[in-house]
Amino acid sequence: MAQSRQMSHILGATSESGRPTIARASYDGRMRFTPSPIALRLFCLSILALLLSGCGEPEAATPLLRWYVFDEPSGAFEQAAADCSAAAEGRYQITLVPLPSDADQQREQIVRRLAAGDAAIDLIGMDMIWTAELAAADWIRPWPAAAAMQARAGRLQSAVESATYAGQLWAVPFTTNTQLLWYRADRVDQAPATWSELIARSERPGATGTIQAQGARYEGLTVFFVSLLASAGGSVLSPDGRSVSLATEPTRRALAIMQTLARSPAADPALATSREDDARRAFEAGTATFMLNYTYVWPSARSNAPEIAEQMHWARWPAVDPDRPSRVTLGGINLGIGAHSRYPEQARAAALCLAGERQQRQAAIRGGLPPTIATLYDDPAIRATFPFAELLRATLRDAVQRPKTPLYADVSLAISHTLHPLHEIDPIADVARLRRAVARALRSQGLL
Amino acid sequence: MKGWRNPEHRLGWALCAPAVLAMLLVTAYPILYALWLSLFRYDLRFPDERQFIGLANYLTVLSSPAWWQTLFNTLVITISSVAVELVLGLVFALIMHRALIGRRLVRTTLLVPYGIITVVAAMSWRFAFDPTTGFVNALLGLEGAWLSERWSAFFVIIQTEIWKTTPFMALLLLAGLSLVPDDLLRAARVDGANAWQRFIRITLPLMRPMILVALLFRTLDAFRIFDTVFIQTRGAQGTETVSILGYNTLITRLNLGLGSAVSVLIFVCVIAIALLYLRGFGVTILHREDR
Between A23 and A295, whose confidence is greater?
A295
**Cβ contact (<8 Å) for B291 and A4?**
yes
Q: What mean pLDDT is predicted for residues A259-273? A: 88
**Residue, of A51 and A311, whose pLDDT is higher:** A311
Q: Express each pLDDT in A328-343 by its tens digit.
A: 999 999 999 999 999 9
Contact A214, A220 (CB under 8 A): yes
Each residue's pLDDT tens digit, A184-227: 998 888 899 999 999 988 887 656 668 999 998 889 999 999 99
Q: Looking at residue A36, what is its pLDDT?
A: 52
Is the domain of A339 the same as that of A322? no
- The alpha carbon torsion through B282, B283, B288, B291 (nearest 10 deg) reads 10
What integer pLDDT is reported at residue B116 of this predicted model? 92
SS3 content of chain B, % helix, strand, coil (to 5): 75, 0, 20
Per-residue pLDDT of A381-412, as tens digits, reads 999 999 999 999 999 999 999 999 999 988 99
Contact B253 A448 (CB under 8 A): yes
Residues of chain B positioned with their CB less than 8 A from the CB of A413: 248, 252-253
Counting beta carbons within 10 angstroms of the beta carbon of residue B268, is it exposed (0 to 12), middle (13 to 18) or buried (19 or more)?
exposed
* In-domain check, residue A22: no
At A340-349, the pLDDT tens digits run: 999 999 999 9
- Note whether A84 and A160 are same-domain residues: yes
DSSP state of B52: E
> Is residue A128 located within the same domain as residue A217?
no
Going by C-alpha positions, the residue among A387, A322, A394 that lies closest to residue A178 is A394
Domain assignment present for residue A3? The answer is no
Q: Is residue A46 part of a domain?
A: no
pLDDT recorded at residue B160? 95
pLDDT at residue A44 above 70? no
Q: Do A149 and A132 sit in the same domain of this protein?
A: yes
What does residue A125 show for φ and ψ, rounded to 5 degrees? -80, 95
Across chain A, which distance is largest between two alpha carbons, in Å? 94
Q: How would residue A38 be classed by pLDDT, with cut points 50, 70 and 90? A: low
The residue segments making up the domain with residue A198 are: 179-329+407-442
Q: Is the domain of A320 the same as that of A344?
A: no
Cα(A163)–Cα(B108) distance, rounded to whole angstroms? 57
A4 confidence band (pLDDT: 50, 70, 90): very low
| A19, pLDDT greater than 60 | no
The answer to the question of residue A402 being in a domain is no
Q: What total number of domains does chain A contain?
A: 2
Say whether B172 and A22 touch across the interface (CB within 8 A).
Answer: yes
**Where residue A47 falls among pLDDT bands split at 50, 70, 90?**
low
Give the whole-number percent of chain B exceeding pLDDT 70. 95
For each of the domains in chain B, give its residue range(s) and CATH number, in order of start. Answer: 65-280 (1.10.3720.10)
Mark whether A269 and A255 lie in a shared domain: yes
A387 & A429 share domain: no
The pLDDT score that the predictor gives to residue B284 is: 57
Closest-CA distance, A113 to chain B, in angstroms, reads 12
Best residue of B45, B46, B92 to probe chain A, by most A CBs closer than 10 Å: B45
- Given this model, what pLDDT does residue A14 score? 36
Decide if A308 touches B, using CB distance below 8 A: no
Mean pLDDT, residues A118-130 taken together: 94
Q: Residue B109's pLDDT is what?
A: 87
Which residue of chain A comes nearest to B233, CA vs CA? A273
Q: Assess if residue A8 is contained within a domain.
A: no
Which among A8, A133, A420 has the least Cβ separation from residue B45? A133
- Enter the pTM of the model: 0.79
Examine the domain organization and report whether A210 and A150 are in the same domain: no
Categorize the per-residue pLDDT at A283 as very low, low, confident or very high, splitting at 50, 70 and 90. Answer: very high
pLDDT of A129 strictly over 50: yes
Query: pLDDT for A303-324, tens place per residue?
Result: 999 999 999 999 999 999 999 9
CA distance A276 to A167: 33
* Dist. CA B88–CA B107, nearest whole Å: 14
Q: What mean pLDDT do residues A343-358 have?
A: 95
Q: Quick one: pLDDT band at residue A435, thresholds 50, 70, 90? A: very high
Count Cβ neighbours within 10 Å for each residue of B91-104 and write b for 16 or more, e otherwise: ebbbebbeeeeeee
Q: Which pLDDT value is given to residue A262?
A: 93
CA distance A192 to A202: 10
Q: What CATH number is given to the structural domain containing A186?
A: 3.40.190.10
Confidence of residue A37 (pLDDT cuts 50, 70, 90): low
Name the phi and psi angles at A138, rounded to 5. 60, 40
- Residues of chain B positioned with their CB less than 8 A from the CB of A21: 171, 174-175
Separation in Å, CA of B147 to nearest CA in chain A: 9
Phi, psi (rounded to 5 degrees) for A181:
-95, 120
At A203 the pLDDT is: 82
A388 domain-assigned: yes
How large is the angle between the packed helices B150-177 and B118-129, nearest 10 degrees?
A: 140
For A21, name the nearest residue in chain B, comparing CA atoms only: B175
Q: What is the pLDDT of residue A238?
A: 94
pLDDT band at A48 (very low <50, low <70, confident <90, very high): low
**Chain A residue at shortest CA distance from B286:** A11
- Assembly ipTM: 0.72
pLDDT value of position A408:
93
Q: Has residue A21 been placed in a domain?
A: no
- Residue B151's Cβ-count burial label (10 Å; 0-12, 13-18, 19+) is exposed
Assess whether A335 and A320 both reside in one domain. Answer: no
Q: Which residue of A25, A104, A137 is in closest CB contact with B252?
A: A104
Rounded CA-CA distance A297/B273 in Å is 50
Amino acid at A229: L
Question: Is a pLDDT exceeding 70 seen at residue A124?
Answer: yes
Nearest of A111, A150, A157 to residue A338 by alpha carbon = A111
Q: Say which of A28, A420, A444 has its CB closest to residue B115.
A: A28
A287 and A270 within one domain: yes
User: Over chain A, what is the mean pLDDT?
Assistant: 86
Both A299 and A228 in one domain: the answer is yes
Q: Is the domain of A301 the same as that of A369?
A: no
- B134: closest CA of chain A, how far (Å): 15
What pLDDT score was predicted for residue B290?
43
In a domain, A118, yes or no: yes
Walk along chain B (291 residues) and give the pLDDT tens digit of each residue.
Answer: 455 678 888 899 999 999 999 988 899 999 999 999 999 998 888 888 888 998 999 999 999 888 999 999 999 999 999 999 999 999 999 988 887 788 888 888 888 999 999 999 999 999 898 877 788 888 888 877 788 788 999 999 999 999 999 999 999 999 899 888 889 999 999 998 898 999 888 888 888 888 988 999 999 999 999 999 999 988 878 899 999 999 989 988 888 999 999 999 999 999 999 998 888 766 555 444 444
Looking at per-residue confidence, does A58 or A238 come out higher? Answer: A238
